């Protein structure tokens, strides 16, 4: 993927920036007490946090709580005045943008259900022309990194340089224990294509419940992400949206206290040399692996020729099963997890069959 964005670094427009940037607050603004009490507790522990709350909520079904609407913007202003926290909310169209700008919201974000739609993103981008406000772009619901990149480009093309991406997980048919499958590789792809783009992880929407938040938050930190967005509510049990995944401010503190924040590099020559030495070993081993795989595939092709000459089918299920089980056992002895061996063998077997099919269908002259 190529992604060339013109970005102002976080630290330049957010002087108090310290990794991880924390965005905390309820899924939705519900009432003034909920907003001020939640924000008050967050500010006590994290005066540099950004306070989030949804004013207009994109809900899957109608007749559920679709957000408190304009009055919530007044509560946001009260939060800012009483706690000093910066405020952030989701915008899904030009009217939302206009109202937020009027109300003095500090940061806007585009939600996952909006990022999927280039018309909506373009409408928001057009409404931001000539405005200097930070915009964060959540990944689209479906695992499509191009759509995510495209939304960031549209906003950037409109002149917004205070930009960040929010990784909130993707809808997939196999979400595992998560509400939204993290598919870390897509966030890594974005970060690799545009290293200057800050990426913030939203463990709440990935996890769908508080139990998994620490694991996701730690993993995000280990992948060198820049911040965390964690839904925090003074009393999650009565929340009008996403009640199951929100945490109390005290839980937020526990989660953050337990995080191990490692730096992406250190200025120590001994450390750098040792790391370089280990990386060289890995590189050599990777080359050896590729050479071995190439040799293995050459033998696969030879087997294909042999089967073709003797009119035998490519796939012999019993033999494949035996080979696979033996490899699982060997992997087990060598300390390699079963899932890893399964994935690896699937790839090797697919390529082996592809080669044999090629050989089989190549007529001997």
Say how far apart CA 42 and CA 182 lie, in whole Å.
26
Structure-derived torsion over alpha carbons of residues 355, 357, 358, 364, reported in degrees to the nearest 10: 120
Q: Which is nearer to ligand PEP, 180 or 352 (CB)?
A: 180
Residue 226 contact among ligand PEP, Mn ion, none, beta carbon within 5 to 8 Å by kind: none
Phi-psi region of 166 (alpha: psi -120 to 50; beta: other; left: phi over 0): beta
- Under the binding rule (CB under 6 A), the answer on residue 27 touching ligand PEP is yes
Q: Which is nearer to Mn ion, 80 or 138 (CB)?
A: 138
Give me 212's structure tokens. 């998994």
Which residue from 30, 120, 135, 138 is in contact with ligand PEP, where contact means CB under 6 A? 138
- Under the binding rule (CB under 5 A), the answer on residue 53 touching Mn ion is no
Number of chain residues interacting with Mn ion (CB under 5 A): 2
Q: Which is nearer to ligand PEP, 116 or 188 (CB)?
A: 116
Say how far apart CA 324 and CA 322 lie, in whole Å.
5
Q: Which residue is nearest to ligand PEP (CB)?
A: 111
Say how far apart CA 177 and CA 208 lie, in whole Å.
9
Q: Which is nearer to ligand PEP, 111 or 203 (CB)?
A: 111
Q: What is the DSSP string of 191-253?
A: HHH-TTS-EEE-HHHHHSSGGGHHHHHHHHHHTT--EEEEEB-S-GGG-SS-TTT-B-HHHHH
Q: What is the DSSP string of 157-194?
A: HTT--SEEEEE--B--S--TTSSSB--HHHHHHHHHH-
Task: Give the footprint of ligand PEP on residues 49-68 (CB under 6 A).
Answer: 54
Say how far apart CA 219 and CA 184 lie, in whole Å.
9
Residue 111 contact among Mn ion, ligand PEP, none, beta carbon within 5 to 8 Å by kind: ligand PEP
Residue 186 contact among Mn ion, ligand PEP, none, beta carbon within 5 to 8 Å by kind: none
Residue 73 · residue 105 · CB < 8 Å = yes
Q: What is the DSSP letter of 61?
A: S
Nearest distance from C-beta of residue 244 to ligand PEP, angstroms:
13
- Under the binding rule (CB under 6 A), the answer on residue 191 touching ligand PEP is no
Q: Single out the segment in contact with ligand PEP by CB under 6 A; choices: 78-86, 110-118, 250-258, 346-354.
A: 110-118
Q: In angstroms, what CA-CA distances link 182 with 96, 175, 177, 229? A: 28, 8, 10, 14
Nearest distance from C-beta of residue 109 to ligand PEP, angstroms:
7
Residue 80 contact among Mn ion, ligand PEP, none, beta carbon within 5 to 8 Å by kind: none
Q: Which is nearer to Mn ion, 92 or 160 (CB)?
A: 92
Task: Give the footprint of Mn ion on residues 192-251 (CB under 5 A).
Answer: 242
Number of chain residues interacting with ligand PEP (CB under 6 A): 8
- Under the binding rule (CB under 5 A), the answer on residue 90 touching Mn ion is no
Q: Which is nearer to ligand PEP, 113 or 248 (CB)?
A: 113
- Under the binding rule (CB under 5 A), the answer on residue 27 touching Mn ion is yes
Measured in whole angstroms, the distance separating CA 330 from the mean position of its chain's CA atoms is 34
Q: Which is nearer to ligand PEP, 179 or 355 (CB)?
A: 179
Q: Which is nearer to ligand PEP, 113 or 307 (CB)?
A: 113
Which residue from 67, 72, 111, 304 is in contact with ligand PEP, where contact means CB under 6 A? 111
φ and ψ at 175, to 5 degrees?
-80, -5
Nearest distance from C-beta of residue 340 to ligand PEP, angstroms:
30
- Under the binding rule (CB under 6 A), the answer on residue 197 touching ligand PEP is no
Q: What is the DSSP letter of 54?
A: B
Which residue from 80, 179, 183, 205 is in contact with ligand PEP, where contact means CB under 6 A? 205
- Under the binding rule (CB under 6 A), the answer on residue 168 touching ligand PEP is yes
Query: Any idea which residue has 């003797």 for tokens?
Result: 310
Across the chain, the runs of DSSP E, i.e. the strands, are 21-25, 50-52, 86-91, 107-110, 135-138, 163-167, 199-201, 227-231
Interface with ligand PEP (CB under 6 A)? 27, 54, 111-113, 138, 168, 205
Given the rule CB under 5 A, which residues bind Mn ion? 27, 242
């Amino acid at each position: 993927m190529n992604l060339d964005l013109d970005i102002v670094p976080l630290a330049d427009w957010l002087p108090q920036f310290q990794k991880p940037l924390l965005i905390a607050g309820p899924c939705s603004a519900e009432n003034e007490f909920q907003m001020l009490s939640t924000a008050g507790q967050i500010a006590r522990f994290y005066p540099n946090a950004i306070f989030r709350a949804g004013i207009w909520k994109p809900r899957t079904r109608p007749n559920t709580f679709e957000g408190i609407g304009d009055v919530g913007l007044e509560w946001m202003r009260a939060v800012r005045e009483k706690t000093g926290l910066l405020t952030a909310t989701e915008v899904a169209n030009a009217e939302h943008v206009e109202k937020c700008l009027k109300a003095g919201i500090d940061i806007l974000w585009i939600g996952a259900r909006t990022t999927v739609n280039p018309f909506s993103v373009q409408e928001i981008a057009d409404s931001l022309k000539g405005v200097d406000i930070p915009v964060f772009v959540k990944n689209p619901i479906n695992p499509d990194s191009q759509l995510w990149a495209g939304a960031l480009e549209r906003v950037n093309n409109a002149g917004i340089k205070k930009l960040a991406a929010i990784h909130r997980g993707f809808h997939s048919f196999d979400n595992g224990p998560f509400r939204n499958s993290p598919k870390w590789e897509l966030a890594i792809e974005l970060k690799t294509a545009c290293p200057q783009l800050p990426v913030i992880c939203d463990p709440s929407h990935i996890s769908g419940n508080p139990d998994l938040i620490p694991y996701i938050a730690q993993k995000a930190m280990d992948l060198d992400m820049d911040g965390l967005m964690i839904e925090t509510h003074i009393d999650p049990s009565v929340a009008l949206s996403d009640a199951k995944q929100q945490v109390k401010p005290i839980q937020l503190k526990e989660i953050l206290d337990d995080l191990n924040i490692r730096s992406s590099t250190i200025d120590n020559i001994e450390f750098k040399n040792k790391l370089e030495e280990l990386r060289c070993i890995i590189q050599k081993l990777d080359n050896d692996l590729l050479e071995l795989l190439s040799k293995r595939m050459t033998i696969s092709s030879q087997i294909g020729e042999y089967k073709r000459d003797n009119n035998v089918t490519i796939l012999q299920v019993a033999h494949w099963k035996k080979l696979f089980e033996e490899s699982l056992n060997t992997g087990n002895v060598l300390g390699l997890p079963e899932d890893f061996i399964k994935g690896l063998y699937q790839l090797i077997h697919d390529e082996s069959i592809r080669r044999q099919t090629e050989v089989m269908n190549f007529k001997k002259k």
